[in-house]
Every structure is written in C-alpha cells, then in structure tokens.
Amino acid sequence: MTLQGELFSGAPLDTLLFEKTAYRNGYAHVAGIDEAGRGPLAGPVMAAAVILPAGLLLNGVDDSKKLSPAIREKLFDIIMARALSVGIGIIGPDEIDRINILQATRSAMLAAVQQLTPQPDYLLIDGITTINTKIPQKTIKKGDSLSLSIAAASIIAKVTRDRLMVKMDTTYPGYGFAGHKGYGSAAHMEAIRVLGPSPIHRQTFGGVKEYIT
C-alpha cells in the first residue's frame, strides 16, 4: 500500500465525487465528519472534522474499521500533515448519560466543526444524522467508504479515541481498556461484574447500569 498524497491522478470517482460536486456548486471548504465510540460501554464519544485540499487524493484512506491499527496510525500522521484543517470534538460519559448517545454524538460533531480554521462552507456527514448548524450539510450512508473527507475523519476520530482509551487503561486498571477500547467484550463485561463500573463507564448503558449501586 502506498501511503502518499497525489493531486487527482487516478482519483477514484466514488471517493471524491461528493467533494467535487460541492466544489462545482460553489463551495470552497468541504469538511468530512465522522465519529468513533457510539457503541462502547465506557469512555467518550469522539468526532473528527477534516477539510482536505481540493483534489487531494490520499492513497489508502478508507473507512477506519477496514484498516489495521498500524495502517490507521500511519494514515493519521499523513492526514494531519496534509489536511487544511482538522477539528476534534469529545463528549464524555457523564454528558452521554445526561443527554443520550445520539445527542452526544451530534454535539461532538458540532464541536469538531467549530474548531476548523478556515470554517467549512459545506459538510459531508457519515450516516443519517444532521447536526445543529446553518452550514449546508449532506448525510451519506456508509459515507466513510464513499467520501475521502469522511474516511479521513473516521481515521482521525478512531485513532484519537483509541489512544485515549489506552491511557485510561493505566488510570483505571483491571478493565482492559487498552485492548477492547471500552466495547462490551466478554472480558470487559466480567470485569464490570467483578470490579463494578469505573468513573468512565456509561451508567445508562445496558451491561453497566445493572451494577450501579
């Protein structure tokens, strides 16, 4: 796999189509947005927003779930170096419990967009959920496989969250956060049963709330 940036040469239509359409419609700064961590029992939900230079092809960039951790780490550095701007939004477990995971995800996405400089004038969002902004936006099912900007955001969000959960493994030992990253593996569920929930567990989630005292 070649990990490098090129301008348009051989750019697959299905990964730049949405961006090119936005440029043709007069938009100048198109941001791709994706999240990581909606499903775990512990830790934050995190979103990333990425503006790539118009016409930039980053070979190997794809839905983060399709990539190995080593490839994601390499692509993370390339995206950070080549992007015009990257924003990261994070909503912690207490807020997730307070407003629910859907609203927390929307808040994280909005926070990521607000960090971008320059501010985008068009948004491409993975999935079907819009965010609360006047910036024109398009939701795309499986967008992390169809849009290069969204795929780049998926990698930034995933790598950033995974790194945080590795740190949480040191802060809250015994749960195995470095391995499962907060998802409900059998070992994680057993640790919750034995140790009780940690301060970063989502207390409204099944598998955790049963052990709240």
Phi-psi region of 149 (alpha: psi -120 to 50; beta: other; left: phi over 0): alpha
- For range 23-50, the mean pLDDT: 98
pLDDT tens string 91-116: 999 999 999 999 999 999 999 999 99
64 three-class SS: helix
Bridge partner residues of 57 (DSSP):
6
Instruction: Tell me the pLDDT tens digit for each residue of 48-57.
Output: 999 999 989 8
Could you give the percent of the chain with pLDDT greater than 70?
Answer: 93
Domain contains 200: no
Closest by CA to 48, choosing from 131, 138, 158, is 158
CATH number of the domain enclosing 9: 3.30.420.10
Give the domain extent around 50.
5-170
- Please state the φ and ψ torsions of residue 56, each to the nearest 5 degrees: -75, 130
Is residue 81 situated within a structural domain? Answer: yes
| Structural domain contains residue 196 | no
Flag whether 115 is in a domain: yes
Q: Residue 87 domain-assigned?
A: yes
Mean pLDDT of the chain: 93
- Is residue 31 a contact partner of residue 116, using CB atoms and an 8 Å limit? yes
**Domain annotation covers residue 130:** yes
Give the pLDDT confidence score for residue 14 in this predicted structure.
64
pLDDT bin (cut points 50, 70, 90) of residue 11 is very low
Residue 213 has a pLDDT of 82
Average pLDDT for residues 188-194, to the nearest whole number? Answer: 97
pLDDT-based confidence at 86, cuts 50/70/90? very high
Using an 8 Å Cβ cutoff, are 49 and 90 in contact? no
Q: pLDDT (tens digit, 9 = 90+) per residue, 128-159?
A: 999 999 999 999 999 999 999 999 999 999 99
Half-sphere exposure of 140 (CA within 13 A, CB side): 25
Structure tokens at 69: 């951790």
**Encoding tokens for residue 155?**
């990698």
What are the structure tokens assigned to 67, written together?
A: 């990539």
Structure letter (DSSP) for residue 65? G
Classify 124 as helix, strand or coil: strand
Distance separating alpha carbons of residues 141 and 129, to the nearest angstrom: 10
CA distance 180 to 175: 9
Q: Express each pLDDT in 53-71 by its tens digit.
A: 998 989 999 989 999 999 9
Q: Which two tokens stand for residue 206?
A: 């099944």
User: How many separate domains does the chain show?
Assistant: 1
**Quick one: pLDDT at residue 2?**
36
Give a yes or no: residue 182 inside a domain. no
